[in-house]
């Protein structure tokens, strides 16, 4: 805040709340988008009749959730990690490996895991399912995208942490040592 010239008491109080509210909007938008994508892709395959009102109901239930109201404004990392996870699910190649969708999704997953390393456990199942479905010709693309995303996220995380702390810091090592 100091770098932006926002040093008043109002800024210390208001700016984090504004940022948190914006992240909650992104989370809710992603939740509705995920419902729309799943309804479009999964609902029309003969299993059941498509329900065009599903995204509206998802939004209403999400907005009426006491949990969202009580904990949505808590810590920045909780809600940011949830928003990244929802948007990663929106981009996740559910039907089969698509390089472009996977690249966006794995970058979002990496950012979420950077914020909360334990969220890697959530992503093990979708990742293993994707690996199981990969064809031999898709492996080079998958590995190239995965390694590039890992290098980008780790180097950005190290740079950001080091800038914030004023010296070289790798927060994941501290997390591993502590836990």
Could you give the CA distance from residue 103 to residue 81 in angstroms, rounded to a whole number? 18
68-78 residue pLDDT tens: 777 766 667 78
65-124 residue pLDDT tens: 877 777 766 667 788 898 999 999 999 998 888 999 999 999 999 999 998 888 899 999
CB within 8 Å of 111: residues ≥ 6 apart: 84, 153
Contact 1, 7 (CB under 8 A): yes
């Amino acid at each position: 805040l100091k770098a932006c010239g926002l040093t008043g008491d109002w800024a210390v109080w208001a700016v984090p709340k504004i940022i948190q509210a914006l992240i909650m909007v992104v989370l809710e938008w992603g939740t509705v988008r995920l419902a729309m994508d799943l309804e479009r892709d999964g609902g029309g395959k003969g299993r059941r009749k498509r329900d065009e009102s599903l995204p509206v109901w998802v939004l209403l239930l999400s907005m009426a959730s006491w949990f969202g109201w009580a904990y949505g404004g808590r810590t920045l990392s909780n809600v940011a990690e949830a928003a990244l996870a929802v948007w990663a699910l929106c981009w996740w190649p559910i039907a089969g490996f698509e390089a472009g969708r996977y690249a966006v999704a794995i970058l979002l997953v990496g950012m979420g895991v950077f914020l909360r390393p334990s969220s890697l456990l959530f992503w093990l199942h979708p990742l293993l399912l994707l690996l199981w479905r990969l064809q031999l010709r898709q492996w080079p693309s998958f590995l190239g995208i995965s390694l590039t995303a890992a290098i980008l996220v780790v180097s950005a995380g190290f740079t950001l942490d080091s800038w914030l702390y004023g010296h070289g810091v790798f927060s994941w090592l501290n997390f591993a040592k502590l836990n």
